[in-house]
Structure formats: structure tokens, C-alpha cells
Structure 1
Amino acid sequence: SIPKVEFDVDESAPLSGDGDGGQAGLDAPGAAFAYTNDLGSDKWSAGISFGGLSGAGLDYGNNWAGRYQDTEVELILLSLAPSVAYKITDKLSVGVKAQYYYSSLDLKLRAPTSLVTGAEDGRVKLDGDDTGWGYNVGAIYEFSADTRVGITYQSKFDIKYGGDLKIKPAGLKASSDTELTMAATVRASLHHDLNDRLGLDFTVGWDNWSDMDNVLVAIDTGAGAALEKNWEDTYHYAAGFQYKLNEDWDLTAGVAYDTNPVDSHDRTADLPVDRQVRYNAGARYALSDTLTLGGYVNYIDLGSAKIEAHLWSGEYSTNEVYSFSVFANWQL
């Protein structure tokens, strides 16, 4: 993915710094793999997948207006997921996926001089990683050969990053645990084929982001802090189509909308998310009876994401992500 993130600081704010952070988005390459097998049965199938579930990378520089909140952040969430599905009847199928995740967090910010020795801002670094388990369950019901509905539930991830907290030039270093919750989600989808060429897709969903009310940081000295996030639940709406151009080519496109999870007084620069609008388009080509190649183009508009902090404020003039992907589907 290629994020474009540029903040416009309110110059009248008491803490404006020497700039607005410039182009803060960091490019993030990714890859995924999946394998499925019908197990020689017309009812059972199993598979395994590996890939990224979430991630973020931002670098605002050391002296921008929001430096006491964030100067640099990198968040990675990967999952290895075995799965199994069962066809209960000719119309109803269910599936479950176990997810073993790995996540890492690196966060840097500046500390006011009153907290450290020396005339310059202190430098704070918080890092850590964690592994754990989550799950995904789903079901599909086929009303007819043309119409089917599906529902999925993705469990939340309660991630506890074990790592270090360092503050310079004060020379402070301590072991730390940082707790962050990734929201549980529900998606319900409808697919309907209008004819042999054109199919329509609709999805609605709910994300339980109110679970991320605080980010908890504890260090081995016994001290700790709750960093307020105060996120709210969000709702997801999407529509798209699939069009069979000919025997070899399929085209697809869609748009999705997610509501705003947080107001401007609680929004922070490490997660500058507003309402989100996503656009995507793609194509698939059947190279043979067993091999299909394809690609997608995606664009995400993350909104202006206004921030009204205690000593600084502003909004994002650019807050978007471009991504490009290619895939191959090989039937053995």
C-alpha cells in the first residue's frame, strides 16, 4: 500500500512547531497465501492462509506540532489461519477459522522538557510484540443458483505488546506492556446474479471499536498510564458488481463506506482515521482450466480527520491510501 498523509497545522495554536510533518505516510508492501482442499469429500473442505490483517506506518518528523503525541509509528498484524468448512445441506454451508497472530508495535514521540533533564525535548520510544489467537466463523445459505447470503464474525484481538520504554536524554529504560484491542467485526452479504454475465454484491457490517476506549501502558516499576482513545462502534456499507466479459475475462468493481470512529477532540495522529470511502476495481483472466491470473486497484479516502488537541489543532489536507495487487489461483 502507498499512503499519502499530509497534515495542515493551525498556525495560531500555542504549539505549532516548525512544521506540519510533511508527507508522513510510509509505503508498506504485503503478500498473502492461501490453500484449500476438498479432502476427497463433497461436504468437507479444509485450508490454510497466511497474510497481513492490519498495519500502519507514519513518520511526521521530530519537531512537528503533534510531536508530543506521535512522531513515528509502525504497527504490523499478521495471521496464520487454518480453516475447515462443512456443507450441512445442499443450501447451507458453515466454516470456522483459527487465527494465530503476530503483531509488533514501534512508537516514537517527544516529551516536554519538564519531564526530562536538558533543554531539548525528550525522546520517548515504546516498542513490543505479541502473539495470540483469534477466530472467524461464518455461514452461507443459497436460496437458488442465482442468490446466496452469507454472514461472518471476526473475533477481537486483545494484544499485549511486551517490550521496552526508553526516555532520552534522561537515560530511563524499563520493561513495558502495552495493551491494544483490535475490534470484533460482523459482516452480512448478499450476492445475486441478474443473468449469466452480471452479478451484484451488497454488504453491511458492524465493527466493535468501542472496545478500544484506552491503550494501557504499564512498566515494571509499577507505574502505568491509560491513553484515552474513546473510539465508537462503526458501520460498514458496500456494493459492487461482477461482470463476465467473455469465457476468459471477468471484471469487478465496488465501493464501500465506513462511519467515523472518533471525534476530533479524541482523534490522535498515530491513527488519523475519519469516515472512510473505499473504491476498487479488478480483473481476472483464465489462462487455462486450472490457472487464473488477476489484479486489483484500490483507493481509500480516509477523510480530513480533524484533530483538536490541548495545545495544537489542524486537519489532514491529504489522507488517502493507494494499493495495487496481483494474484494467481491454481487448481491442482
Structure 2
Amino acid sequence: MKKTLLALLICSTYANASGLLLQEAVVANAGTTGAGDGVYTETATASWTNPATMTHMGEQKTTVNMMVLDLQMDYTDRDRDLDDGYRIPNTAPTTGDANAKTVMPSIGIFHVMQVSEDIHLGINFGAVGGSSVDYGTDWDASEHLDTATMTAVQLNPIMSYKIDNNWSVGVGAQVSYGIIEVSTTGFETDAGTDWAFGYNAGAMYKAEKWAVGLSYRSKVEFEFDDINADLIAADPDNSRPSSFTVGTELLAPAIIDLSGSYDVNGQLTLLSSVQFHQWSDFSGTPVYNEQVEGLEIDRDWDDVWKFAVGADYQLNAEWALKAGFSYETSPQDDPTKQWVDLPVGEQYRYSVGATTYWNDTRIDMFYEYADLGSVDITKEGANVTGTFDGKIHFVGANVTF
């Protein structure tokens, strides 16, 4: 029973690593990997990163972000031992390696309106994380992870105040809803759900040719209680119950964003952002159950830094071109502390985009490639010793009117 509980909860945090916070779903300047989002004012989406940007958005602005992601995760086994004693009884031998591919859509809606000379109000809805993966039942870790789905969406009401022509500040509330569902060769769960709450705040200084912004999003924590799990593997001695309940905790980390932009001339704007993701709060994944106490999956993650640079070039009256690059540090480099639900390492992102107008409607299109790198994992007791390689393709468009 204890081993089964561990298998369940180690799956539950999938798709919540720093790079898989799904920030692409809430990028304001599509095609720049998020560079300069904390000072960008051409789309309403910037109010997600920094609510103080609303002061410079005029009387009203609405942006709809639409995106499709194509996630590919490959596992290459390095040291198989089919007689390790950890196989679930009466299950077929595994093949070692595994491949998981997922195609998922995402949408975000962002609205800003001016209510007085100095005050703007806004409401944002977007995804803060989420993905789905299916490795199948024929790989070395199938008893620990077969399929996993995690989705977290957030409603973000916000307000900004104009101090003077240069300075503005903003605050907001985070109302988040999370869903998890997992299965292995031995069991499958019902969907677990929870609400979580937090806040965000920001400040911005905008001059004639440059701007700088600093913003903060607080940590939000989900507590999934009483998730029902049904056993599906054979149990010859009938020593285990057919179902049980279990609970766990997940989090989206606190994020600090420092963004800047500089207008080189009438055509070229340079953009940059530095973000701090406080993943050191993710020390472990606790497991709650009436029959087994004191279980926790050791994570021991480090804080993550993300560095992004980009450029926005006005090609002519109809088109603007964009490009961006970002790098994220790894939250965990120790192979013995990696796990199959969430292999994490350094991440590199490359993006291009273009902007045009259809009457008064602004259309931003982008493509982004995320290299999740190669992550080694060594869990000898669980017979998981191999390498994960991951990548994501993003294609999307933002429409502003």
C-alpha cells in the first residue's frame, strides 16, 4: 500500500516545472519569449505580468491569446533489471524506453479599461500551468507513471494607479483552480480539484524612449484532498483494498520580474527581462492518507533564474517582425533526486513572430521552440536509470481590439 501511494503522488506534480509554468499562454509580446513583458503596453496581456502597465493602455483594450503546444518527451533506459522485485504481479515485461507526445490548445482573455483619469481596472483569465502525458504501460517506470494530466487556470482582477506622467503602480488578486488526474499499470484516479489564492503587484517607470518595470506574483498552493484511486492490477492474495483515498500539495512559485525596453529609433525596440522563480519552496511532495503517514517525495529544488532578450522591428506600415531568446537555470541537477513525473533541467527557448493589423484589430503571430534538454535520472531501488529528452513546439496568435 505504501508503495502504491508513492506511485500516485509522484505523478501529481507533472507539468509544473519552471519552464512548464506555461508562460507562453500569457505572453504579451508574442514572438519574443516574454522579453520586456513587464513594460509592454501594446496588448492587454502585459497586465498579467505587471498590472502597472495598464496606465499606458488608453481607454480600453482587450486581447485574446490563442495557442497550441506540441510536447515530446523521450525516455532512454540505461540499466534495466526486470527481476528487481518491484514489478506489479501478473503484468507484462517492459521494453525499457518510452515516448510521450501531447498536443494541447490554450486560450487566455485579458481586458483593461480606464475608469478615471488616474485609475485603470482589468480582468485576466489564463493558464498558469498544465500538460498531459502518456508514456504507456511498456516502459521501465510504468508502475510509477503511465498517464498524467495537470491543469491550472487563474482569474486575475487587477487595478493600476497613475502617480504622474512617468510612474504607475498596480495590484491584483489571483484566484486559481487546479485539476490533476493520473494512472499507472496498477491504479487510476478520479480527478482531484482545488482552489488556491494569491496576489500580485507591480510598478513601472516610462520615459520617452525607455521603460522599466518591476513586478511580483505570490506563490499559490493547491491542496488536493480525498482523491479516489482504484486498483487495476491483479492481486493474487487479495491483500489490498480495491480503492483508497489520498491527498497531496502542489504549488506555483512566487515570481519576481524585472523588465525593460529601449527604443533605438523609430523602427527598432530592444527588450529584456530577468525573472526569479522561487522553486526552493518546492522541497518535497507530501502524501496524505489515513493508513500511511509521513510519506514525502524528496524534491530539494533550487530557485530558478530566467533571462530573456528580444527585439521588435517595424518593417513597414503593415508589418512588424520580432525575435527572442530565453534561458532558464535548472532547479535540480542531482540525478538521484529526479523523478519520472517531472524531470527538470536547463531550458532554452527560441521564438519568432510578426504583427499586422486588420482594420483596427491587431494580430500578433508567433512560433516558439523550447529545448528542455537532457535530464539524467538514477533511481536504482525503483529500477529507473535513464535519460529524459524533452522539447515543445508552440504556435499561436494574439488578437487585440
Give me the TM-score of the superposition, normalised by structure 1.
0.89
Conserved? CA contact 1:108–1:126, under 8 Å: no
Secondary structure of the 2:332 match is: coil
Letter in 2 for 1:98: A
Secondary structure of the 1:300 match is: strand
Distance change (3 Å), C-alpha of 1:266 and 1:68 = farther
CA deviation profile, 1:87-112 (whole Å, cap 9, x unmatched): 111111111121111101112234xx
Letter in 2 for 1:18: T
Q: CA deviation at 1:21?
A: 4.9
Conserved? CA contact 1:174–1:220, under 8 Å: no
Distance change (3 Å), C-alpha of 1:18 and 1:175 = closer
Letter in 1 for 2:343: P
Unaligned runs of 5+ in 2: 1-68, 88-92, 235-239
Aligned match of 2:307: 237
Tell me the percent identity: 27
| 1:25 aligns to 2:97 (yes or no) | no
Match for residue 177 of structure 2 among 102, 126, 147 = 102
Match for residue 10 of structure 1 among 78, 86, 110 = 78
CA deviation profile, 1:149-193 (whole Å, cap 9, x unmatched): 111111111111122233344334233221112211111111111
Conserved? CA contact 1:92–1:139, under 8 Å: yes
Letter in 2 for 1:154: R
User: 1 CA distance for matches of 2:295 and 2:101?
Assistant: 28
Letter in 1 for 2:103: D
- Farther-moved stretch of structure 1 (1-10 vs 157-166): 157-166
The structure whose residues are more often helix, as a share, is 2
Aligned match of 1:149: 212
Letter in 2 for 1:151: L
Conserved? CA contact 1:69–1:268, under 8 Å: no
Letter in 1 for 2:222: I
The structure whose residues are more often strand, as a share, is 1
Conserved? CA contact 2:187–2:229, under 8 Å: no
The aligned length equals: 315
Q: CA deviation at 1:11?
A: 4.1
Q: CA deviation at 1:127?
A: 4.3
Give me the TM-score of the superposition, normalised by structure 2.
0.74
**Which protein, 1 or 2, shows the higher relative CO under an 8 Å CA cutoff with sep ≥ 6?**
2
Conserved? CA contact 1:13–1:313, under 8 Å: no
| 1:269 aligns to 2:340 (yes or no) | yes
| 1:135 aligns to 2:135 (yes or no) | no
Distance change (3 Å), C-alpha of 1:157 and 1:275 = same
- Farther-moved stretch of structure 1 (297-306 vs 307-316): 307-316
User: 2 CA distance for matches of 1:258 and 1:13?
Assistant: 35
Conserved? CA contact 1:160–1:180, under 8 Å: yes
Conserved? CA contact 1:127–1:165, under 8 Å: no
Match for residue 154 of structure 2 among 65, 76, 79 = 79
Conserved? CA contact 2:197–2:221, under 8 Å: no
CA deviation profile, 1:242-298 (whole Å, cap 9, x unmatched): 11112222221100000011122111121122100011111111222x311121111
Aligned match of 1:314: 386
CA RMSD of aligned residues (A): 1.9
